[in-house]
Amino acid sequence: MLMKAPQTAIRAVVLMFCVFLLPAMGTGADKPCYMCHKSKIVGTYVHAPVADKDCVACHKSGGNAHQKNKELNGVKKPGAALCYDCHDPLNEQKSVHGPIKNNDCSGCHAPHVSPYKKLLRAAPADFCFTCHERQKFTWPAPHEPVGAGRCTDCHVPHQSTVANLIKPTKELICYECHDSGISKGKSVHVPVFDKDCSGCHNVHGSDHKKLLKASPTELCFLCHDKKNYQKPSTHEPVIAGRCSDCHLPHQSDTRSLLKFKTKPMCLECHDPKIAQGVSVHMPVRACECDVCHDVHGADTGKLLKMPYAMVPEAPYTDTAYALCVSCHDKAAYTQEENYTDTRFRDGKTNLHALHVKGANVTCRMCHNPHASPQAKLFPESVIGKDNMPIMLNFTPDIRGGSCKMTCHSAKTYKH
């Protein structure tokens, strides 16, 4: 608040000065200052004490004497201290503008008169650029208010309770013009929640579209470690840095900022036929693609979370068959005798173990991991060890079944 009270007193003094002292002038003894310094009071916008011809509110008094005694030319107090005689201090908040920290009001304001409002030293369009390099705020596609030179849409000139001299607002300066819905949703990105818009946007302008700080394919790696997205088996859209194929940048109504509401979102890009057939694997039917796959990448081929023998033949080890035996009992494939907890047996012979442990035949030769047009996830054909396709024809029976394939003629088992 301004101290208005002294002003009335000042006006009275000035009035007395005019009535009693002016007529006595001409001797040159104590002419009022403005008689000799006329330019100081002529202008479109005149500072109130100047308009009041109260020169000595700021200047050391001295009349003509000052022409001889340069000491008396100065103002009463240096820098901002003079202004703070009548104006509230402007250097008390969290963020204080550089010149004000240096107690320099005069870089921006003329003390007496100015052709510009608020006694500013330059026209609004050029004002900030008297000190800030215009080049730094010039972009081919600037943020609209910046391009229009409306710096004060977002900044205050003196001080602010918000860092960077940002105009204090109820929520966030950006939401004065943009929908605050970007920070509401089931999952909100941490930097958005933290109001760190500058984590991704250059607020004044950028060489990238949407004011982004980096190209869309590099943006996410400003904060997320690229190494985590460079596994031996990496999902193609991840390799290409197209995180936004699956994620939204601000918020989402689905978990993990996902773009897709459907479950499984995998089928947004992959042929849904992968999960359809006469037999469908239970986890696939349950839409749980991620029990077997790591969506970004994995150490094992085909984005698999655990090793899986992707060849026609491989000796059984717990490691090599880890994926399937993480849910299925490994004894079914290794215990050749006296194992009855599988339907693939002939009498007492466990045909599963006979093939897998006994003959190194991998699960892949008889089962598809997702779905298939035959029962028991049997594929119609597989590629054999000599690189030739093998046709499979599996016929289930109530107590057994029969298998016809290129490698052996129809064989039947019973249990």
Identify residues 241-270 at the interface with ligand HEC (CB under 6 A).
241-247, 249-250, 256-258, 264-270
Contact, 49 vs 8, CB < 8 A?
A: no
Contact, 187 vs 246, CB < 8 A?
A: no
CB of 389 to ligand HEC, least distance (A): 14
User: C-alpha distances in angstroms, 279 versus 26, 198, 299?
Assistant: 115, 51, 29
Residue whose C-alpha is closest to residue 131's, from 116, 121, 118, 119: 121
Residue closer to ligand HEC by CB (options 19, 147) is 147
DSSP for residue 141: S
Encoded tokens for 38: 């006329």
Of the candidates 277, 307, 356, 379, which one interacts with ligand HEC according to CB under 6 A? 356
Report the distance separating Cα 349 and Cα 347, nearest Å: 6
Report the distance separating Cα 35 and Cα 399, nearest Å: 121
E-state strands within 6-71: 45-46
Of the candidates 29, 223, 391, 410, which one interacts with ligand HEC according to CB under 6 A? 223
Interface characters, 11-40, with ligand HEC (x: CB under 6 A): -----------------x--x-xxxxx--x
| Binders of ligand HEC in range 296-325 (CB under 6 A) | 296, 301-304, 308, 310, 321, 323-324
User: C-alpha distances in angstroms, 226 versus 24, 88, 191, 399?
Assistant: 85, 51, 18, 54
CB of 208 to ligand HEC, least distance (A): 9
Of the candidates 12, 115, 210, 389, which one interacts with ligand HEC according to CB under 6 A? 210
Report the distance separating Cα 390 and Cα 361, nearest Å: 13
DSSP for residue 279: E
Residue 166 in the binding site for ligand HEC (CB under 6 A): yes
Of the candidates 277, 307, 369, 379, which one interacts with ligand HEC according to CB under 6 A? 369
- Tell me the H-state helices in 61-189: 65-68, 79-83, 98-101, 124-127, 144-147
Report how many residues bind ligand HEC under the rule CB under 6 A.
182
CB of 202 to ligand HEC, least distance (A): 7
List of residues 6+ apart from 177 with CB closer than 8 A: 145
Stretch that binds ligand HEC, among 14-22, 294-302, 383-391 (CB under 6 A): 294-302
Residue 128 in the binding site for ligand HEC (CB under 6 A): yes
CB of 277 to ligand HEC, least distance (A): 9
Encoded tokens for 200: 């991704």
Of the candidates 29, 42, 123, 190, which one interacts with ligand HEC according to CB under 6 A? 190
Encoded tokens for 58: 């700021």
CB of 133 to ligand HEC, least distance (A): 9
Residue closer to ligand HEC by CB (options 19, 160) is 160
Stretch that binds ligand HEC, among 14-22, 61-69, 383-391 (CB under 6 A): 61-69
Of the candidates 275, 314, 353, 379, which one interacts with ligand HEC according to CB under 6 A? 275
Interface characters, 386-415, with ligand HEC (x: CB under 6 A): ----------x---xx--------------
Residue 353 in the binding site for ligand HEC (CB under 6 A): no
| Binders of ligand HEC in range 78-117 (CB under 6 A) | 80, 82-83, 85-87, 90, 95, 97-100, 105-109, 111-112, 117
Count the Cβ atoms, other than its own, within 10 Å of residue 297.
18
CB of 19 to ligand HEC, least distance (A): 18
DSSP for residue 60: P
Report the distance separating Cα 312 and Cα 304, nearest Å: 18
Residue whose C-alpha is closest to residue 83's, from 39, 130, 47, 116: 47
Interface characters, 131-160, with ligand HEC (x: CB under 6 A): xx----x---x-xxxx--xxxxxxx-xx--
